[in-house]
Amino acid sequence: MKKQLLNYETLLKVTKAITHSRDPEEVVLMTVESIKTALDVKGCAVLLINRSNNNLEVAASFGLSQEYLEKGPLSALQSIAHSLEAGPTAIFDVTDDPRIQYPEAAKKEGISSILSVPIVTGGNIIGALRVYTSEPWEFTLDDVNFVQAMAHLTGMAIDMARLYKGMKDSIEVLKAMRDPKSLKYKRRTPYEGVPLSVSPEAVQEQRSKSTA
């Protein structure tokens, strides 16, 4: 029950962020951090499809090393491609599954299992939300439903940003997020790019103030 309540709180937090913010960076970063915390997993990442080369590019991540994120081009046609065609896909053992493009890099990173869920906007798949665990993990239906709900919210945030900023597709949103001139948050925390306002220390500080 505690885990279910935590998941509901996470959904409410991200939904509120979407309705109050027009900054996709804030919402997407909050999403990956919130999923990692709610499921107590190794990491989480939002990957968007670049239609010019069919590669998956990292829009946001939490809990994963820079070395792993830069392991090489991630092909939408090779890296758990099934999740972009048929829906949520769970990989129990990354070292023994042909759907993993870089099994050695995953092993070195300490990843055992991966759940990949498509991100959809306007009926089109624009990327994937992926959850990484350090221990072999048999994802439950509740886990999958929760990550799917977060993927839908992520798609909404990206779509709203695309419409608000007059961008043609999601990869332009990604490029804008990477542009230092467009970033709302100039200061960074040690938590893989999570904005200061949603870092663990900031959350704790806000809670202390609210109870003071």
Q: What letter would DSSP give residue 63?
A: S
- Tell me the C-alpha distance between 203 and 152, whole Å: 24
pLDDT at 154: 87
pTM, entire model: 0.75
Instruction: List, in order of start, the domains of the chain with CATH numbers.
Output: 2-211 (3.30.450.40)
pLDDT at 71: 93
pLDDT at 97: 92
53-59 contacts, C-beta under 8 A, 24 or more apart: 56/127, 56/128, 57/171, 57/174, 59/28, 59/127, 59/173, 59/174, 59/177
Low-confidence ranges of the chain (pLDDT < 70): 1-8, 11, 14, 17-24, 161, 163-212
